[in-house]
């Protein structure tokens, strides 16, 4: 049985430092998973950075390559986290503890702010490393994929009515 779309879909914002490596990768992965699970009416997402270093830039070539290898594309342009994000999005999922601290320092709304890896089945108590300097884009891809799957599993289990999960 398919349910009607909710009045307001749940917003998920992924945050890293510059919004060119980890968070746009998470955004593109999450969008793909949402589409594959036919949850587009229930969820929307975006990504942002705590810093203003790369505003307007495309994702890092390493991010684009990791996504391309998985058959995923993105046209995301980097942006900085804004105070409006705390009311537009219900969940703000950050990549590491430094991002968490910086995000909480400007938090001004009801959004739930958490480390994205809290949803990971394999790496729940760790930060997503920044591949900007060390090139670990494939490691980041695997970690973020696991966390996005975990978030979606929890969403379907706890936030979507049971009838939808059993359609």
Taking only the tens of pLDDT, the chain with its 167 residues reads 234 456 689 999 999 999 999 999 999 999 999 999 999 999 999 999 999 999 999 999 999 999 999 999 999 999 999 999 999 999 999 999 999 999 999 999 999 999 999 999 988 779 999 999 999 999 999 999 999 999 999 998 875 454 444 43
Q: Is the pTM of this model over 0.85?
A: yes
Check 46, 85, 127, 130 and give the catalytic one.
Answer: 130
Check 16, 21, 45, 148 and give the catalytic one.
Answer: 16
Check 22, 46, 127, 148 and give the catalytic one.
Answer: 22
- Residue boundaries of the structural domains of the chain: 10-162
Whether 22 sits among the annotated catalytic residues: the reply is yes
Whether 85 sits among the annotated catalytic residues: the reply is no
Q: Alpha-carbon distance 113 to 107, whole Å?
A: 9
In the chain, the N- to C-terminal Cα span, in Å, equals 5
Q: Where are the alpha helices (DSSP H) in 89-128?
A: 97-106
Residue 19 gets the label, from left (phi > 0), alpha (psi -120 to 50) or beta, of: left
Whether 16 sits among the annotated catalytic residues: the reply is yes
Q: Alpha-carbon distance 59 to 23, whole Å?
A: 9
Q: Indicate the fold that domain 10-162 takes in CATH.
A: Rossmann fold (3.40.50)
């Amino acid at each position: 049985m398919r349910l009607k779309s909710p009045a307001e879909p749940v917003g998920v914002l992924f945050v890293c430092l510059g919004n060119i490596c980890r968070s746009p990768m998470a955004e593109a992965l999450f969008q793909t998973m949402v589409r594959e699970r036919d949850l587009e009416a229930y969820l929307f997402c975006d990504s942002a950075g705590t810093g203003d270093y790369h505003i307007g830039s495309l994702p890092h070539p390493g991010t684009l390559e990791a996504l391309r290898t998985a058959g995923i594309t993105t046209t995301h342009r980097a942006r900085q986290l804004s105070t409006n994000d705390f009311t537009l999005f219900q969940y703000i999922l950050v990549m590491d503890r430094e991002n968490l601290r910086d995000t909480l320092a400007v938090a001004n709304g009801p959004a739930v702010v958490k480390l994205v890896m809290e949803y990971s089945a394999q790496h729940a108590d760790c930060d997503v490393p920044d591949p900007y300097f060390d090139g670990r884009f494939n490691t980041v891809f695997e970690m973020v994929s696991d966390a996005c799957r975990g978030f979606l599993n929890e969403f379907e289990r706890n936030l979507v009515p049971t009838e939808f999960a059993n359609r």
